[in-house]
Amino acid sequence: MRRGGVAGLALLLSLSACGGGSGGGAISTPTPPIVTPTPTPTPTPTPTPTPSTFDTAEYRRSNGAVAAQALAAYQAGASGRGIIAAVIDSGVNPDLPEFSGRISPLSRDVAGSRALADESGHGSEVSGILLAARNNSGIHGVAPAATLLALRADRPGSCAGTEGCGYGSSAIANGLDVATSAGARVANISLGGFAAPFSLQAALVRAGNAGIVTVVAAGNDSAVESDPLARSLVAAAVPNTVIVAGAVDDAGVIADFSNRAGSIAGNYLVALGVRVRSFDATGAAFLYSGTSEAAPIISGAVALMAEAFPTLSGPQIVDILFRTATDLGAPGTDAIYGRGQLNISRAFAPIGSLSVAGVAEPLSGTGLIGGPLGDAGATGLALRQVAARDSYGRGYAVDVAASLRRQSAGRLALALFGSAQAAGLRLGGGELAVLARAGDGLAWRGDRLTGADTSLRPQAALTAGAARLPLAPGRSLAFGYGQSLGALLGGASDTPVTLVAARADDSLALAQPLAGGALVQQMGDWRLGIGYGTLRQQAALRGGVAPLAQRALLRLDRRLGGVQLGLGGEMLVEQGSLLGSQLAPAFGVTGATTLSALAHVGLPLGRWNLAADARLGQARPDLTGSGLIRAGATLTTFAGSLQLWGQGLLRADDRLSLTLAQPLRASGRALLALGDAPLATALAPSGREIAMEAGYALPVAGGALGLTSFWRHQPGHIATAPPDAGAAVQFRLGF
């Protein structure tokens, strides 16, 4: 550190470069070492990483920027371009190529009328750390495209002595005023000395009111308190407009020479200040140590923030840098490291909850998507670039689709563990049945092939039951638990039950029926059935409760000779889900109502039977009106299946079945709040599942043996999903 003497003027403050000592105009404190660099080439890692556009050899040599984790800012497009950074110091060599074309014409001598130059080299070195050009030569600064407002403040003639340059308080004040009038966003003062007089304090306040952030060195006296100049500037400043820079080494340990945070810990931030790469006024490379070198690293961070987030005020930038600093030393703000070490990467990341304009809920939480919506296809693509703002109003492009977890497209494990055995009896004209599921309470850990979650494993042995009571001739009432409405209505069809290929009469393939009831009335050749039941989604967000749904079904069946015809209407009302998909609150979907028409045709073909089922519906989500999905979201749903089965083929009591099915798939459009105006976006899966299943069953040894094989194209309606094929063997033994 170099210190000049105090001139005879009462308001003349003697300041020194490299962060100053502890007062006394005639006292000299040793300058921290300046060492000519002889760096050892960095070993090439194995395997060699592919550098990004900004992760270059020049960047890796720029240890000030590297230690501050500036790469994230560069990758976000920030470089300091268009931002004026004032350096109040010994001036700069305007002929250095590192500053070519980026020295503001307002740069000047604020201590006299000299030409812009740098007698000591201190100003050039500090400016290089802050904003040296990215030109594939030497190093680049933290803000390599910022504009330099070089304000030469050294007292004329003071740099010629052995004590180093001296700086007057009036020159520093003039420099701050020039920075204010020039529209600078940051002012770097890598100087130290006596406490600031009123004139300098007033200039600092004017700068703060204009939005300038002032960064001042903490000093190099190994003291428990920062330099008197730094402390006085903090005391006088507009709140959150002054940062005091302390120095740490490349391990994040406070430098032995650096003054500590002390009583101004709330305004103290550390950055690399040991062996920092830069250059002198001639352009020769050196390694520098001192809090003077830590200050421009922080000033560069301010410039990057000001460019990337132009709506931020100076106090907001300071607050973000303090909040995102890497905590060092004692937890929280402490008397050594203050707020911690500068971390530009964290400063550029969102803080607090992300929100979208007009969307009441923040972009937080996860969703579970699948079933008829598949992977959401084009909607998922649209959600990858959602314009959102953090708690400071900073804009980000957020990949909301990444928060949507896909439901497992596998069905085999659920089908096997959901199969049931029934026992029943008749009481007069009534029937009673109790069913036992395959789940036995063992610690099943999930199916690796299908991805079925352990939470889907049946938890109890007795999970279903039904009772049917006659009310009058041709009229009966059925009610049960764990039974589908189709089973409670009964009599509509004897089509085989499939294991994997979802038939069109399944409302939601991944929904588990709970309680329900059905009333059946026979009217000559016609049969009318009315049913109502509750369903529970089998998939739930981790730690959450599976949503419920209510299903009402009206079905009319008739036999014309051997031909069986059926028509039906269904209403499905979901709470907390949309066709089985559960979305985060920000989507604004609280449930959905789906109206569907169903049709069935069954034809006898000798020993064979052919059945066709179709379902066509319209789903309308229940919307809050203030979510990502806005009005206009209507989905068309369709499912279809074709089954062929025959009995007595190889032996009198066997059965062979073939099924071709497209499970329920939804498609439509929705208005998504993805920017200033809602965007009409396709709401549909990327693919279309087609499933084929073959089954063979026959009685064996008092039980039943079932063989099933299946093949699924684009399972889960996901275009990129590989085909899903498998087989199952089931054996049921009665006793």
The string of DSSP letters for 147-164 reads EEEEEE-BPTTGGGSTT-
Which strand ranges, in their side-by-side order, compose the sheet holding 108-109?
108-109, 147-152, 84-89, 186-189, 213-217, 242-248, 268-272
For residue 581, tell me if it sits in a domain: yes
- Which three-class secondary structure string do you get for 380-394? HHHHHHEEEECCCCC
Q: 338 and 467, same structural domain?
A: no
The reply to whether 355 belongs to the active site is: no
Q: 216 and 88, same structural domain?
A: yes
Q: Which of 62, 90, 109, 122 is catalytic?
A: 122
Q: Give how many domains the chain has, as a whole number.
A: 2
What is the C-alpha separation between 159 and 90, in angstroms, rounded? Answer: 9
According to the model, what pLDDT value does residue 191 have? 96
The terminus-to-terminus CA distance of the chain in angstroms comes to 96
Nearest CA among 645, 708, 636, 700 for reference residue 666: 636
* pTM score, whole prediction: 0.73
According to the model, what pLDDT value does residue 21 have? 40
Strands 475-481 and 420-427 turn out to be: unpaired
Q: 180 and 80, same structural domain?
A: yes
Q: 439 and 339, same structural domain?
A: no
Q: 579 and 499, same structural domain?
A: yes
- Given 325, 348, 371, the domain boundary residue is 348
For residue 722, tell me if it sits in a domain: no
Domain of residue 589, residue span: 413-450+459-686
Q: 587 and 478, same structural domain?
A: yes
Q: What are phi and psi of 216, to 5 degrees?
A: -125, 140
Does 45 sit behind a cis peptide bond, omega within 30 degrees of 0 on the bond before it?
A: no
The reply to whether 140 belongs to the active site is: no
Q: Which of 89, 375, 453, 557 is catalytic?
A: 89
Q: 309 and 434, same structural domain?
A: no
What one-character DSSP code corresponds to residue 732?
E
For residue 368, tell me if it sits in a domain: no
For residue 631, tell me if it sits in a domain: yes
What is the C-alpha separation between 444 and 449, in angstroms, rounded? Answer: 14
Nearest CA among 734, 635, 162 for reference residue 372: 635
Nearest CA among 446, 437, 445, 440 for reference residue 418: 437
Instruction: State which residues of the chain have pLDDT below 70.
Output: 1-52, 358, 360, 365-366, 377-381, 403, 405-464, 491-494, 505-511, 538-545, 632, 674-678, 733-735
- Which three-class secondary structure string do you get for 187-228? EEECEEECCCCHHHHHHHHHHHHCCCEEEEECCCCCCCCCCH
What one-character DSSP code corresponds to residue 144?
T
According to the model, what pLDDT value does residue 730 have? 80
The reply to whether 122 belongs to the active site is: yes
Q: 434 and 302, same structural domain?
A: no
Nearest CA among 296, 275, 233 for reference residue 87: 296
For 677, the token pair is: 């105006």
For residue 729, tell me if it sits in a domain: no
660-to-506, 569, 610 alpha-carbon distances in Å: 14, 23, 11
Strands 475-481 and 511-523 turn out to be: antiparallel
Q: 217 and 106, same structural domain?
A: yes
What is the C-alpha separation between 114 and 717, in angstroms, rounded? Answer: 75
Nearest CA among 674, 721, 689, 724 for reference residue 380: 674
According to the model, what pLDDT value does residue 538 have? 60
Q: Which of 104, 120, 232, 292 is catalytic?
A: 292
The domain that holds 198 is classified in CATH as 3.40.50.200
